[in-house]
Structure 1
Amino acid sequence: MTGWHREHLPREVIPLSPRQIREYELPYVGRLRKRGLEPEAVYQLLYRLAHQVAAQNVTTRAILEENERIKRGLSQWQSRIARQLEAGAGQDAVVYPTRPPFGNQGRHPSA
């Protein structure tokens, strides 16, 4: 039994859509489809789907980390403004920036 490895995939693998996955037809072994599916084709599809899911997990993780960073920045900004107001500095003494400090000026890191 031979498994599929990274070198069996082209460098840029085009992700399969959910519809393509549902409609994907694997070749059969033997005559009249009585012996089952071709093992190599099954392993190739499984590895391709695993590769696709891994790439999506990396993207999802990056988005969640960015979301947490933005939430922390907003919370810090809100706390700073609240402390200024509680200190009795008055509305005139509070400096309101045009937007909270999010690092990348509110843009996604890939932008």
Structure 2
Amino acid sequence: MGDNDLIGLRNLKNINLAYNPIKFITNRAFQNNIHLTYVDLSHTSLTTIPSIVAMLPALQTLRIEAYDIECTCELASLKNWKVSAIQILGQCYPANERIDQFIKTYINAGRC
């Protein structure tokens, strides 16, 4: 997903990109979408959580279910993300640990 794909949609609150062959989302893709509360990236070709989602001030739900989200210290761009205020639906691969739990236990706890 490119930098300007959603630039004119400033009042966008929900976006469902599930089941699309998305492999990468730039760090500026949602920069003008500060009202996004729901983002569904399930069943895409993503292998990591795009760091831009941590910068969405109104985000309440992130669905990133299925496929292979690798929970490694490379997710450090999500450090200090207030995951307790956001419902994150998805599991880490291959550990089969909830993504939000991984972020709390490893990233935010300074273990990475």
TM bucket (normalised to shorter chain) is under 0.3
TM-score where L is the length of structure 1:
0.23
Greater helix fraction, Structure 1 or Structure 2: 1
TM-score where L is the length of structure 2:
0.22
Find the structure with the greater CA-based Rg: 1
Greater strand fraction, Structure 1 or Structure 2: 2
